[in-house]
Amino acid sequence: MPKVEVKNLYKIYGSKPLKALDMVKNGISKDELLGKTGNGIGINNANFVIEEGEIFVIMGLSGSGKSTIIRCLNRLIEPTAGEIIIDGENLCTCNKDKLLEIRRKKITMVFQHFALLPHRTVAENAAFGLEIQNMSKEQRKEKAYEALAMVGLKGYEESYPSELSGGMQQRVGLARALATDADILLMDEAFSALDPLIRKEMQDELMELQASMKKTIVFITHDLDEALKIGDRIAIMKEGVVVQVGTPEDILDNPADEYVSTFTKDVNRTKVLSAAAVMKKPDYVVTRKDGIHMAVRKMKDASISSIFVISKEKMLLGLVTIDSAIEAIKKGETELTSLLIQDFDRTSPDTSLEELLPIAIRTKYPIAVVDEQNKLLGIIVRVTVLAGIAGEEIENV
């Protein structure tokens, strides 16, 4: 069961939204509607699921409805129509008490401009959510201190927010959110107000924290690099419509439309694409018992100068070059084992293209993509790397 499920969600701003909703369902455009009734479209029929433990990034240009949609997830904004199912319960129909309960225990939020209380110390800020739940003073202090230690603010507990830098203030915001132990974390452009270096640091730290916390995180950004870096999956929004949801590689390789590709065209693909994304299927391989003749035939068929040798279980045994194979045939040998060489490069499937690039340029053999058990998953040759960078379809190479 997904953690959060958004079904046919609409948000119409302005008066008489239900009347405008019908027009929107009939396909009126955002500008047309604004001209006709004065209503604005915040969200237009959004459908997606968020899985437990993933970082779900929502991207889009300014005004595309990102903040609106994330605020519907804890009903800071009331949706006009549709359903939001969280852990099997419909958030949109639950009563006031239930809503408070969900906000206190299940969902929490981090804000772009930190939204701290200036008259309270860092620890009192971090304890805010717990205080709202009427937790005892000592208990919430203890939890607040713990949360602050987690985000690296040990020693600043009794300072005031105005004494901290922006990055540190946002850590307080994060600690405040973590202190409640809610399992869904909403972050609306949480790092956008920070300067680039601090921002990168915070991204790294969030990912580190996430590795141990396994929260479900909804993260809004309009920075594609940030989205690709931290997102397990990315949703792209345009004028209230969710135009595409997919993994970073999906979004880069198969942009759903023009709008999405304008987003992705400037991206540094080498940072995002992994070996797994550009590798070829290992179609031309031989097993040990195939023998030398078979190996030579396959190399000739594929017009390649070397071929990987695998075991029955697809474990990578080594590489045979065509020169050594022909030599061996002349000598009348049939066994492959003695010809195997090992001085080629191996890589794991999640290695980035950025790291593969220098290897691909240097090596004279293909690169083998293997998993932890040394099973051959794919092959990378220089052209596939270049094609991946250029964003070409790998199959055409």
Least CB distance from residue 42 to ligand ATP, whole Å?
Answer: 4
Position among 128, 156, 219, 259 found at the interface with another protein (CB under 8 A): 128
Nearer to ligand ATP, 67 or 121 (CB): 67
- How many residues sit in the footprint of Mg ion (CB under 5 A)? 1
Contacts of 281 (CB under 8 A, 6+ apart): 378, 379
Q: Which of 105, 120, 200, 222 binds ligand ATP (CB under 6 A)?
A: 222
Q: Which does 42 bind (CB under 5 to 8 A by kind): Mg ion, another protein, ligand ATP, none?
A: ligand ATP
Give yes or no for a contact between 388 and 294, defined as CB atoms under 8 angstroms apart: no
The contact pattern for another protein, residues 157-176, with x = CB under 8 A and - = no contact, is ---x-x-------------x
Residue 277 makes contact with another protein by CB under 8 A: no
Positions 110 through 149 that interact with ligand ATP (CB under 6 A): none
Residue type (1 letter), 248: P
Q: Angle between the 353-362 and 382-390 helix axes, to the nearest 10 degrees?
A: 140
Q: Which of 5, 52, 87, 131 binds another protein (CB under 8 A)?
A: 131
Question: 132 or 341: whose CB is closer to another protein?
Answer: 132
Pairing, β 346-347 against β 367-370 = parallel
Residue 67 is a binding residue for ligand ATP (CB under 6 A): yes
133 binds, among Mg ion, ligand ATP, another protein, none (CB under 5 to 8 A by kind): another protein
Q: Which helix (H) or strand (E) element contains residue 86?
A: strand 81-86
Torsions phi, psi for 392 (to 5 deg): -75, 160
Which region, judged by CB under 8 A, interacts with another protein, from 54-62, 103-111, 300-308, 335-343? 103-111
Q: Which stretch binds another protein (CB under 8 A): 4-12, 111-119, 227-235, 277-285?
A: 111-119
CA 259 vs. chain centroid, Å, equals 19
Among residues 2, 5, 7, 13, which is the contact residue for ligand ATP, using CB under 6 A?
Answer: 13
Give, as ranges, the residues between 48 and 87 that touch Mg ion (CB under 5 A). Answer: 67
The radius of gyration computed from the CA coordinates of the chain, to the nearest angstrom, equals: 27
- Cα diameter, the chain: 89
Query: Can you tell me the distance from the alpha carbon of 178 to that of 95, in angstroms, rounded to the nearest whole number?
Result: 25
Taking the complex as a whole, the smallest distance from the CB of residue 264 to another protein amounts, in Å, to 30
Quickly list H helices, 258-336.
258-264, 269-272, 275-278, 291-301, 322-330
Contact criterion met (CB below 8 Å) for 206 and 194? no
* Residues found near ligand ATP in the complex (CB under 6 A): 13, 40, 42, 60, 62-68, 222
